[in-house]
């Protein structure tokens, strides 16, 4: 176990906000995690992965806890499927690379999404027509109220669009220690999203799909190693059919996608149409290849990012009457 005091969070958030935390701790086992929770019972706590979906709005006056448990193992196998339990601190993309090498289908469309396995379940990460929930079988956690390990079934997790029980009813209650995924030995491919299919050979392997996804993502999204960001800043709004009809009568070119719960409108289109593409606040700006992403062009402060986000929300609301909800979590 490693505990540090008054540390810079610059290396621990992909937005590259230069703020500090009172304490930072790495735990390598559930017992160490339990010890930390008991020892620091009276101060605020944040469980963190790679900090790729967060905006630190100020210094953190509490303890930030990070899992260094990063192994994966097969826990069950049937004729058609393999169940892999991956520990929360394992980088999701490393796990996906290993699964693709094993020729297992299920997570390849989520290649190159930053972050760790624990957070992938919290966020129900999604890309190219699939979401983590499609492959998650169950989640193992430590219940902070009882300090006992527990298992949440897929149904217990209440997965939704970039959403799960871990962000609402049970926010702060469970620390995810591992996630069990159900992977297919047979080719079960999801290639109908965007231009994925045309980038692939017939009968693609998981690695073919992974490589194509990575190439497409690299052409559209900033690389965390080069540019500070937290990916999509806003969620794509889902509106009622009547709202969509009214908007379409005014903006016939508006793209939209029918969902079971309403009509999804790409937030990137709304942001671009509202004239936000060139908006800046200090060193915070809108990414030129994808207006849904706010980037740190050097020394952006939390205030710069929050101000820019607010300007975008106000302009979209004014022009379309739609209130954009943040995907990025403010801490």
Ligand X SMILES: Cc1cc2nc3c(=O)[nH]c(=O)nc-3n(C[C@H](O)[C@H](O)[C@H](O)COP(=O)(O)OP(=O)(O)OC[C@H]3O[C@@H](n4cnc5c(N)ncnc54)[C@H](O)[C@@H]3O)c2cc1C
String marking each residue 275-314 x if it binds ligand X according to CB under 6 A: ----------------------------------------
Q: How far is CA 246 from the centre of its chain?
A: 32
CA distance 285 to 256: 26
Any idea which residue has 């937005």 for tokens? 15
3-state secondary structure of 225: coil
String marking each residue 227-246 x if it binds ligand X according to CB under 6 A: --xxx---------------
209 binds ligand X (CB under 6 A): no
Residues annotated as catalytic are 162, 232, 327
46 binds ligand X (CB under 6 A): yes
- Which parts of 66-95 interact with ligand X (CB under 6 A)? 67, 88
Residue 323 per-residue DSSP state: -
Out of 1, 3, 68, 126, point to the residue binding ligand X (CB under 6 A).
126
String marking each residue 129-168 x if it binds ligand X according to CB under 6 A: ---------------------------------x---x--
50 binds ligand X (CB under 6 A): yes
CA distance 51 to 330: 11
Q: Report the nearest approach of ligand X to the CB of residue 291 (Å).
A: 14
Phi then psi dihedrals of residue 221, to 5 deg? -120, 150
Beta strands in 128-227 (DSSP E): 130-131, 136-143, 148-153, 174-184
262 binds ligand X (CB under 6 A): no
The helix (run of H) or strand (run of E) holding residue 8 is strand 2-8
329 binds ligand X (CB under 6 A): yes
Of the candidates 18, 14, 50, the residue with the CA atom closest to the CA atom of residue 231? 14
Residues that bind ligand X (CB under 6 A): 14, 46-54, 67, 88, 113-116, 118-120, 122-123, 125-127, 162, 166, 175-176, 221-222, 224, 229-231, 329
């Amino acid at each position: 176990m490693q505990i540090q005091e008054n540390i810079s969070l610059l290396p621990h958030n992909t937005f590259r906000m230069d703020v500090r935390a009172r304490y930072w701790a790495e735990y390598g086992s559930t017992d160490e995690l339990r010890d930390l929770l008991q020892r620091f019972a009276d101060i605020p706590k944040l469980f963190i992965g790679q900090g790729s979906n967060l905006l630190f709005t100020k210094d953190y006056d509490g303890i930030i806890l990070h899992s260094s448990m990063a192994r994966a193992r097969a826990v069950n196998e049937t004729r058609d499927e393999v169940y892999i339990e991956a520990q929360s601190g394992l980088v999701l993309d490393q796990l996906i690379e290993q699964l693709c090498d094993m020729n297992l289908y299920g997570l390849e469309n989520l290649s190159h999404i930053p972050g760790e396995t624990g957070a992938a379940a919290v966020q129900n990460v999604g890309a190219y027509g699939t979401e983590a929930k499609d492959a998650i079988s169950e989640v193992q956690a430590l219940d902070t109220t009882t300090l006992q390990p527990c298992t949440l079934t897929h149904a217990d997790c209440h997965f939704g669009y970039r959403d799960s029980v871990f962000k609402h009813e049970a926010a702060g209650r469970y620390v995810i220690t591992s996630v069990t995924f159900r992977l297919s030995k047979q080719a079960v491919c999801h290639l109908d999203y965007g231009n994925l299919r045309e980038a692939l050979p017939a009968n693609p392997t998981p690695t073919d799909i992974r490589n194509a996804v990575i190439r497409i993502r690299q052409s559209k999204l900033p690389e965390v190693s080069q540019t500070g960001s937290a990916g999509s800043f806003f969620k794509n709004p889902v509106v009622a059919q009547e709202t969509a009809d009214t908007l379409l009568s005014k903006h016939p070119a508006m793209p939209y996608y029918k969902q079971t719960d309403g009509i999804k409108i790409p937030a990137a289109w709304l942001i671009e149409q509202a004239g936000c593409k060139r908006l800046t606040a200090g060193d915070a700006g809108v990414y030129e290849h994808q207006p849904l992403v706010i980037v740190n062009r050097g020394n952006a402060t939390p205030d710069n990012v929050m101000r820019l986000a607010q300007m975008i929300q106000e302009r979209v609301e004014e022009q379309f009457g739609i209130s954009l909800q943040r995907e990025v979590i403010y801490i």
